[in-house]
Amino acid sequence: MKFDPARVREAAGEDFDAAWQRGKEYVEVPPLNRRYPRRVSSYGRPHPIFDVIGRLREAYLRLGFDEAANPVIVEDAEVKKQFGSEALAVLDRCFYLAGLPRPDIGISDERAGQMKTILRRDLTTEEVEGVRQILHGYKKGTVEGDDLVHEISAALGESDALVSTLIEEVFPEFEALAPVATTKTLRSHMTSGWFITLGGLAGMAPLPLRLFSIDRCFRREQSEDAARLMTYHSASCVVMDEELSVEDGKIIADGLLAQFGFQKFRFLPDDKRSKYYVPDTQIEVYAYHPGLVGSSTKYDTGWVEVATFGIYSPTALSMYDVPYPVMNLGLGVERLAMILYGATDLRALTYPQFVQDPDLSARVMAMMIRVQEEPQTPAGIEIAQAIVRTCDLHGDEPSPCEFEAWKGTVSGRKVVVKVVEPEENTKLCGPAANNEVLVYKENILGVPKTAKWEAAFEDGVTTGMRFIDSFAELAARKAEDAALRGEGSETRVRIVRGPGDVNLRLGPALERYITSRKRKIDVRGPVFTTVRSEVVE
């Protein structure tokens, strides 16, 4: 809270210790939902794919590669030049781009009449001719499709909404348009872009040329499943120099993948023998990662295929007038991310809507347990704190008994709040009042701080809320509401059988998580506490 430094200095001069003690008055004590761990310093989490992309970029840059951007849209003629006899198989996996043809639309007398009916006015010869010229410009490409409605609206002096209706009803040619395929494809391999880039740089850039690119590729799969998607990220590099060999690929593969914790490598010939590589230079890279040994993934031996490299064939390079050898290495980002994150389903790794049952840490679970009803005013917050202090101080007092917890003003009315127990032969508060809510082994427990539960408090994560804490906030809220009406209130808790009985709620995601994992919510016990508020003169 803000304070007056001059008054504090004056008070300290008169009685330093008393002024120092009063310093607590300036420190806010927030309601439970605004306390840790329900309120934390939040931070964002990177997406696994983009996290690995960032790490790959840094790894390539550390190896001395320059970053490049390769063409994403590639003419199918380029694919035929690059892949030779394999081009048909490659193109079968490609997405071809299509576009809507621009129709040649005229304005007959009949259509001019339809326009007059929709606009509910006569059209001048100049207005009809203006629309005709706009439609002609659209056909020729001088008027873009997203400007068509606006251009006609300006020519007629009418609203865009009315012109949209006019176009739909008078010119059905637009509605009947169907896409027409072009010869352009979406890149299915990063290689498709590398040949075009290398062709433009050969003879211009100094050697050795070392480039990398991490970007999307697209493949027309029959379906998407746990192992394949129609779009993926390729992390690819090329080295162009006068002297290159397979050994250069091994060196780069080791230097790149060692930065991700891989420690040993095996290089085996790839049986695919793609025609854009020199025969016997297409190599699969198998790497060993100690973190995978004994894991629940298919890589439990520690060995995994992570990359492929090869020397581009002179027959393909010659199509682009590239006179130098080129080594190309590539790996799938998603595949590497699955290894590093221990994922088994590529869809769940990539798209959040496929995540069925995300793991929740004990800390996150504790954050998802909150108070249902809480005081809304500073006086209400004081009431809740006073109830807790009273119960802590007098909870073991034999009944019948009554203790005043708080006196003050709420909504302009003087209010007294008491903790009471009218029945005989019991105590002000029941034995479970001090049970604390915590997360232990994915279970939600409400337990006392005793030797029996020492492990739960040591290894679990507490919410910092006891039964009496959350109940006190409910009692304070009811006292606030009653005072606003000029009435008193009585709030009582007896046997607790679940979180709701002591004013606690679990987030729906947490309840679903506990149910799906067959964990338990064990929040129960005898609390037997009553709080009354009265409006007094």
Task: Count the Cβ atoms, other than its own, within 10 Å of residue 420.
Answer: 19
Range among 116-120, 126-130, 497-501 with highest mean pLDDT value: 497-501
Residue 337 confidence (pLDDT):
92
328 known ligand binder: yes
In the block, tokens 């508020």 appear at: 533
190 is in an annotated binding site: yes
**CA 504 – CA 521 distance, rounded (Å):** 12
User: Known binder of ligand: residue 227?
Assistant: no
Q: What is the pLDDT of residue 346?
A: 85
Confirm or deny that 277 is annotated as ligand binding.
Answer: yes
26 has pLDDT over 80: yes
Residue 42 scores a pLDDT above 80: no
Residue-wise pLDDT tens digits, 78-94: 999 998 888 888 899 99
Predicted confidence band of residue 100 (pLDDT cuts 50, 70, 90): confident
- The residue whose two tokens read 């490299």 is 309
Please check if 289 is assigned to a binding site: no
What integer best gives the mean pLDDT of the chain? 92
Residue identified by tokens 């060692």 is 258
In this prediction, residue 225 has a pLDDT band, given cuts at 50, 70 and 90, of: confident
pLDDT, average across residues 338-346: 85
The verdict on whether residue 276 carries a ligand-binding annotation is yes
> For the chain, give me the number of helices (H) and strands (E)?
19, 20
Q: Tell me: the pLDDT tens digits for 394-451? A: 999 999 999 999 999 999 999 999 999 999 989 999 999 999 999 999 999 999 999 9
For the residues 164-190, what does the mean pLDDT come to? 89
Query: Whole-angstrom Cα distance, residue 409 to residue 430?
Result: 29
The answer on whether 411 is annotated among ligand-binding residues is no
Going by their DSSP bridges, the two strands 209-218 and 231-240 should be labelled as: antiparallel
Which band of pLDDT confidence, cut at 50, 70 and 90, is reported for residue 222? confident
**According to the model, what pLDDT value does residue 354 have?**
75
Q: What is the pLDDT of residue 305?
A: 87
At 410 the pLDDT is: 94
* Residue 367 binned pLDDT confidence (cut-offs 50, 70, 90): very high
Q: What pLDDT sits at residue 183?
A: 95
pLDDT of residue 535: 94
pLDDT (0 to 100) of residue 34: 85
Give, to the nearest 10 degrees, the angle between helix 48-62 and helix 246-257: 120
Residue 234 labeled ligand binder: yes
Beta bridge partners of residue 265, listed in sequence order: 287
**Quick count: other Cβ atoms within 10 Å of Cβ 84?**
16
Q: Judge whether 327 is annotated as a binding position.
A: no
Q: Which residues contact 366 (CB under 8 A, 6 or more apart)?
A: 37, 438, 439, 461, 462, 463
Distance in angstroms (rounded) separating the CA atoms of residues 409 and 118:
67
pLDDT top residue among 480 and 2: 480
Contact 504, 371 (CB under 8 A): yes
Task: Express each pLDDT in 298-323 by its tens digit.
Answer: 778 888 889 999 999 999 999 999 99
pLDDT in tens, 228-271: 899 999 999 999 999 999 999 999 999 999 999 988 899 999 88
